[in-house]
Structure 1
C-alpha cells in the first residue's frame, strides 16, 4: 500500500513537467487573433501585415 501511494505521489509530481515537455516541440502558429493592433492577417503569406490603403 505504501509503495502504491509513493508511486502515485511521484507520478503526480512529475506530470506537469512531462506535459510541458510534450508541448515544447509543437510549432505554434500565428493567426488573425494574434495580430497586434493596427495589423491585419494576410492569408497568402500567413503573417500579420500593415493594411494597405490607397
Structure 2
C-alpha cells in the first residue's frame, strides 16, 4: 500500500513538469501560408514582410 501511494504521489508530482516540457502553446506560429498576398515569410524575423525591389 505504501509503495502504491509513493508511486501515485511521484506521478502526480511529475505531471506538471511533463506538461511544461511539451510547450505552452500560447504563441502563434507564423508561416508562409499565413502571409498576405504580396508578402513573403522572413525566417530571420519570424514574420511576414513586403519584399523590397531594387
What range describes the TM-score normalised by the shorter chain of this pair?
0.3 to 0.5
Q: TM-score, normalised by structure 1?
A: 0.45
Q: TM-score, normalised by structure 2?
A: 0.45
